[in-house]
């Protein structure tokens, strides 16, 4: 079995933080000089303060729902103190009784660097393909 990469650790930490709605654990995955191209926001996110506000709004708006994040097609390359990774993430909303309510897929790419406090994401890009016919985002990927 291949050794775990910093990207594997990021994915596991991300899924755990989202499921627990733990804003502090979520933000701990990211570098203070973060730059995000988020598919849900028109403007890039620069730095942790707006990313913090996004996470609080997201987690706080879930009500009784829990979001379970899984991933597939994950791959990463590590070279010294830099790592890049990409995967397809599935976000599944579950009711308090555990029933799956809905889900969507995102494509994710991240760039990470190792610092004194460990590996942190300094660039993140999420997207969904756009169908030529109708110009709609495809949120259920094969």
C-alpha dihedral, 76 to 78 to 83 to 86, nearest 10°: -10
The total of other beta-carbon atoms located within 10 Å of residue 85's CB is 22
The total of other beta-carbon atoms located within 10 Å of residue 4's CB is 10
Residue 1 — pLDDT band, cuts 50, 70, 90?
A: low
pLDDT of residue 139: 84
Section 60-67 average pLDDT: 95
Q: Taking the CA atoms of 85, 90, 95 and 96 in sequence, report the sign of the dihedral they define.
A: negative
The total of other beta-carbon atoms located within 10 Å of residue 93's CB is 16
Residue position matching structure tokens 């028109």 = 42
pLDDT of 49 over the 90 cut: yes
Residues above pLDDT 70, as percent of the chain:
99
The total of other beta-carbon atoms located within 10 Å of residue 35's CB is 16
Question: What is the pTM (predicted TM-score) of this model?
Answer: 0.93
């Amino acid at each position: 079995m291949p050794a775990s990469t910093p990207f594997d650790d990021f994915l596991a930490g991300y899924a755990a933080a989202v499921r627990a709605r733990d804003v502090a654990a979520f933000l701990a995955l990211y570098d203070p000089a973060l730059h995000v191209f988020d598919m849900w926001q028109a403007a890039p996110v620069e730095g942790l303060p707006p990313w913090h506000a996004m996470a609080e709004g997201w987690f706080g708006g879930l009500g009784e729902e829990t979001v379970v994040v899984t991933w597939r097609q994950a791959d990463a390359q590590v070279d010294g103190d830099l790592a890049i990774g990409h995967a397809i993430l599935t976000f599944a909303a579950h009711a308090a009784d555990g029933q799956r309510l809905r889900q969507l897929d995102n494509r994710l790419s991240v760039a990470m660097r190792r610092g004194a406090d460990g590996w942190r994401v300094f660039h993140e890009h999420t997207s969904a393909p756009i169908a030529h016919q109708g110009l709609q985002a495809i949120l259920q990927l094969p």
